[in-house]
Structure 1
Amino acid sequence: MLPESKYEFPKCIYLDQNKWIDLARAHYGLKEGVPFKEALESLSSAVAAGKVLVPMSCIHVMETVGFNNSNGRRRLAKFMVELSDNLFIVPHINIRRSEIAHAVLKVLGLNPQTSLRAQVLQRGISFAFGVQPMISEVTKNITKQLEAIISSKEFSVEFLVNGINTSVSRNDRKVSEEILEILEEIRGRVLSKLTPDMQLGVEFHELFTKGSPGQEMRQVLKNLNITLDNFMQNFRNHNQYLSFFQTVSTMDVFVKLKVAMDKEKHRRIHRNDTKDMVFLCVAVPYCNAIITERFWNHIVRTTGLANRYETQVETNLKKLPDLLENLCCF
């Protein structure tokens, strides 16, 4: 659904959950939404013209189901599903698998046959969790009907309103808060022993030797009938190996954001930081523009990620009309 190049249309804009809420307030004529009326009108026009896509993600789903007011949750859900046209960004884990396969093939001098950007968006809320509807033990016609229902806007709205018990969302917040102290302790140890460049190398090394990315790479090599030792002979030094890691875009962004966040030692780690990094590691390399909170705007810019991936980053929703004009969407 996304073109292979960011220079082609439609463009893709990722909005932080708070920005969605501001636009919804404008859509429903609430007083708090008046300042964002122009932003909503410009975005709606660009979407209607086929110039822009505004997808949701699993982060939006979790934030929306945690909205306490059930009537407000339904209004927000209907607005988000309609403006996004029921499009969802697939999880970074799903995209990462394809990125690793592409990166390995390029090292071997082979051309990947698929476009990474074309895999990023899918229609239907199940794709927000990386799950394609699989229905069995019924007739083909019924299967098609059920798949159509699961992929429908109505199903997405009902899932956002009633699909997850709000107590689950509240428990998720509690668990997140409980691990913050552990993360702060780890950050303190890391900062006392490693420079940012050293930490960057260590983070990539750990992910590719002990984490699931390493398992995914070994599976790709196994499918190609290549041993890890033989593959490693393509790298003459540590810098070349590090460069290979950085061609896996979602990992490149996630690790650099984490290292940059850890450097901000006077700012305590927030319970939403990991969630923010999870959406940014997809949005930065694959979306044309992101409207997010001030801290991440600063980090994405100062790390050079905005320039590296040619992604516009903004905090002020009122500047959305200008951003759309910069993207040639008018």
Structure 2
Amino acid sequence: MARKQALPYAWPTHLVRPQAGQRLVYLDLNHWISLAKAATGRRTGEIYRPALTAVQEASRSGKYLFPLSLTHYMEMAGIQDPRQRGDIADVMEDLSGFTTLLTNSHIVRLEVEAALDRVFSTDSPHLADLDLLGHGIGHAMGKRGGLHIRSASGGTTEDARAAWPDGPEAFDAMLTDKRRHLERSMLRGPADSEVPELKANGWDPTVAKRGAEERAESERQLAARLDNDPQYWNRLRDVVQARYMALEIIDAITQALIDRDKRIEDVITDKDSVRAFADCMPSADVYTTLVEAAHRNRQKVWESNDIFDIDALSVSVPYCDVVVTERYASHVVNAAHLPRGMKTEVFPRLKDLTEWLDRQ
């Protein structure tokens, strides 16, 4: 069954968006790589120099933010060459300032709550507001806090600041520098010489990719079942939505229902109620649309990078003003008219972004 958006989205009221006048521009990793080639003077990066200049000017104007996501950190960990990671990280730091989007799981939870608010005519008073944007990998992982100081005697960061020999301002500068170094290290990853010791202490850079691979294998299994049961092709979107709710967001739904003293039967009564519930959540609509399109391509072979891409777009398309992704994903979401309903521009090329910035 084709996508049919019958009701407005249930946008999460507890997700705090950036201040008015600031626009969010999300770039897939492949476009960050292109900008890094231009920044380092690579011959293959010459074509991207106008885009690099345009986004640098946009970033420095303060009117445009270029946030990173947890997907970026996970994909960067899969790049083997430390020099390449460093080149990309330099451009990311320059343009993003380590501004990050909130992790998918937290946004999905707020969307589930908003969808249930619509069903039960409530306003989720038990929820705390969460910021869409924050600083660094901690925010991208949905964690609060940052780099703090704890002494053996129980002293806190504020105690250390007050007692700092060169004064509180020098302490603040030192801590800012340490935080910046930490963020750079998390984005760049280790040098080759550091890898053996890190692995000996339990570091495993393949964790994220292995998790994505498990989910890709689940999609490969679904593709095989679809080939064996062709009657489901006419209801493919229903199948994808049901699996999304059962495998990806069931924990969020269960907890939200417990908080309301409700049961799943109070929400899901038939296939139409599944469609209505999933379609009103913005990230779920993007996810379902992309997964359905991928399965309709009978030649598609699912890879872990497909999972990374879908997760990133499920947040960036609904919650950013501009998304620059790869050509096929851009075609799919635009053909489904998702950007129109989400008031987002989705482009396949940095050149498109440059032209869009010129028109603003």
TM-score bucket (shorter structure): 0.7 to 0.9
- 1:160 and 1:238 mapped to 2: Cα distance? 43
- 1:201 and 1:226 mapped to 2: Cα distance? 24
Q: CA deviation at 1:151?
A: 8.9
Q: For residues 34-55 of structure 1, what are the alpha-carbon distances to aligned partners after superposition, in whole Å with 9 as ceiling and x for unaligned?
A: 2111111111111111211111
Aligned partner of residue 36 in structure 2, secondary structure: helix
Q: For residues 267-298 of structure 1, what are the alpha-carbon distances to aligned partners after superposition, in whole Å with 9 as ceiling and x for unaligned?
A: 32233111110101101111111111112112
Q: For residues 152-177 of structure 1, what are the alpha-carbon distances to aligned partners after superposition, in whole Å with 9 as ceiling and x for unaligned?
A: 33211112223695984467657866
Assess if the C-alpha contact under 8 Å between 1:2 and 1:118 holds in 2. no
Change (3 A) 1:29 1:104: same
Residue matched to 1:130: 142
1:80-229 aligned at under 5 Å gives the runs: 80-111=92-123, 119-133=131-145, 138-141=155-158, 152-162=179-189, 168-169=204-205, 183-191=219-227, 192-196=229-233, 198-208=235-245, 210-211=246-247, 213-229=249-265
Report percent identity of matched pairs.
Answer: 23
Residue matched to 1:308: 341
Change (3 A) 1:184 1:66: closer
Assess if the C-alpha contact under 8 Å between 1:23 and 1:40 holds in 2. yes
2:331 to 271, 288, 298: 298
In the alignment, is residue 281 of structure 1 matched against residue 281 of structure 2? Answer: no
Assess if the C-alpha contact under 8 Å between 2:241 and 2:288 holds in 1. yes
Q: For residues 242-266 of structure 1, what are the alpha-carbon distances to aligned partners after superposition, in whole Å with 9 as ceiling and x for unaligned?
A: 2122122222211221111100112
Change (3 A) 1:75 1:106: same
Assess if the C-alpha contact under 8 Å between 2:68 and 2:99 holds in 1. yes
Q: Amino acid of the residue matched to residue 181 of structure 2?
A: E
- 1:3 and 1:172 mapped to 2: Cα distance? 28
Assess if the C-alpha contact under 8 Å between 1:59 and 1:275 holds in 2. yes
RMSD, aligned α-carbons: 3.5
- 1:163 and 1:149 mapped to 2: Cα distance? 21
Larger Rg: 2
Change (3 A) 1:117 1:84: farther
Residue matched to 1:34: 46
Give the total of aligned pairs.
Answer: 320
Q: For residues 49-74 of structure 1, what are the alpha-carbon distances to aligned partners after superposition, in whole Å with 9 as ceiling and x for unaligned?
A: 12111111122112223333323322
Aligned partner of residue 68 in structure 2, secondary structure: coil
Assess if the C-alpha contact under 8 Å between 1:180 and 1:270 holds in 2. yes
Assess if the C-alpha contact under 8 Å between 2:74 and 2:208 holds in 1. no
